[in-house]
Structure 1
Amino acid sequence: MTVRGLAAHAQASASFISQLERGQTSASVGMLRRIAVALGITVADLFNEEQATGHRLVRRAERPELHAGRGSRKYLISQRPLQNLEVYSGEFEPGASTGDDQYTHGDSQEILLVLRGTVTVHLGEAIPRRLEPGDSVEYRTSIPHRVVNDGVDDAEVLWIISPPTPD
């Protein structure tokens, strides 16, 4: 995330964020909370001085689950703090979807890859596309989109988003 992007999401000036990053000013608890929310981390993470090991392991059973619609499950695969990439795994029972309406989130590049089953992808006003295992589609997250499992078997997909979206 750029300094300007963080500033916008944290409701601060880019100058302030830059000074804070360089240790030239301090921030209130409220500002630290807004910065942490914008970065997708906790306030405690802002004070963690441990160096990253360069790799982060996520066991399938330990993936954070995000609230999804009935018959679908969505798991965060990339660990917070999200840096350059945001990756989710989604599982859909037959008839399940990402919701009744198309949605948007930020303006990043997103790739949807079908791992198992078949899904139909709705992208704005374009003709819905049916995807089978191994098929993928790439689009901007600012384009309204929706995924539906209209097949007879469970479906599993992977979403890859770069840069991570703030919402």
Structure 2
Amino acid sequence: MAGVGPRLRALRRARGVTLAGLSAETGITSSTLSRLENGKLRPTLEQLLPLARAHGVPIEDLVEAPLTGDPRIHLRPMRRFGLTVVPLTRRAGGIQAYKVIYPPASRARATSLQTHEGYEWFYVLNGHIRFVLGDQEFRLGPGEVAEFDTRVPHRIGSAGDEPAELLTLFGPQGERAHLSTARD
């Protein structure tokens, strides 16, 4: 239980949520959340359940249940804004990796262009996507890649009757994906 506070803080910061925002999501006061994150208050089950739900993680991730010896990775998909998002990295901060599944265009919610801090790279695994970046529009299919500064207005969505699956790398502080090769 000693590591619960730092894990809670890391999850909140990774989502870019303030204590006040998390308080509104969970119904737990900001001061209680602060005391939990600083280790000054031992969490109860009644506090951990809404926190796990808000962060989209199983409660075991908050209390760090002992390892079972099973080397397999058990990915836990989350539903966010009509998308299915599977986090592929488990550490807070730095570049994050996700598998994102966009519903077929006919079932997708209409969304406006968005902007936020960061830099994103994505690879289309399956299906086709409609990618709007500023005043440009692109249709990408399997094997195609795009990267962009997320401060530019953008929107990504399925372009067909099938779901579209993307592998996404996102750097919340604007980190770009780099490929280093050894020089002979």
If the length of structure 2 is used for normalisation, what is the TM-score? Answer: 0.52
Give the fraction of aligned pairs with identical amino acids, expressed as a percent: 19
Contact 2:131/2:138 (<8 A) preserved: yes
Aligned-partner SS, 1:147: strand
How far off its partner does 1:121 sit?
Answer: 0.5
Aligned residue in 2 for 1:7? 19
Q: Is the 8 A contact 1:121 1:145 kept in 2?
A: yes
Aligned partner (choices 56, 64, 68) of residue 48 of structure 1: 64
- Alignment of 1:90 with 2:106, yes or no, is no
Over aligned residue pairs, what C-alpha RMSD do you find?
Answer: 4.5
Q: Does 1:25 align with 2:41?
A: yes
Q: Is the 8 A contact 2:101 2:163 kept in 1?
A: no
C-alpha spacing 1:146/1:77, structure 2 compared with 1 (3 Å): same
Measure how far apart 1:89 and its partner are: 3.8
> Greater relative contact order: 1 or 2 (C-alpha under 8 angstroms, separation 6 or more)?
1
Q: CA deviation at 1:51?
A: 5.6
Give the alignment partner of residue 149 of structure 1, picking from 138, 159, 163: 159
Q: Greater helix percent: which structure?
A: 2
C-alpha distance in 1, partners of 2:88/2:148? 19
- Report the count of equivalent residues: 151
Indicate the SS of the match to 2:53: helix
Summarize the alignment of residues 78-117 of structure 1 with structure 2, pairs less than 5 Å apart.
Answer: 78=88, 83-84=92-93, 85-90=96-101, 98-102=108-112, 108-116=118-126
- TM normalised by structure 1 equals 0.55
Gapped regions of structure 2 (runs ≥ 5)? 1-9, 24-28, 173-184
The amino acid that maps onto 2:42 is S
**Cα displacement (A) at 1:87:** 0.4
Gaps of at least 5 residues in structure 1 are none
1:40 partner letter: G
The letter of the residue matching 2:169 is: I
Q: In the alignment, is the contact (CA less than 8 A) between 1:110 and 1:138 conserved in 2?
A: yes
**Shift of the alpha carbon at 1:74?**
4.0
CA distance in 1, matches of 2:57, 2:103: 28
Equivalent-residue separation in structure 2 for 1:26 and 1:142 (angstroms): 42
Map Cα deviations across residues 120-145 of structure 1 (whole Å, 9 max, x no partner): 2024x522123342321334289451
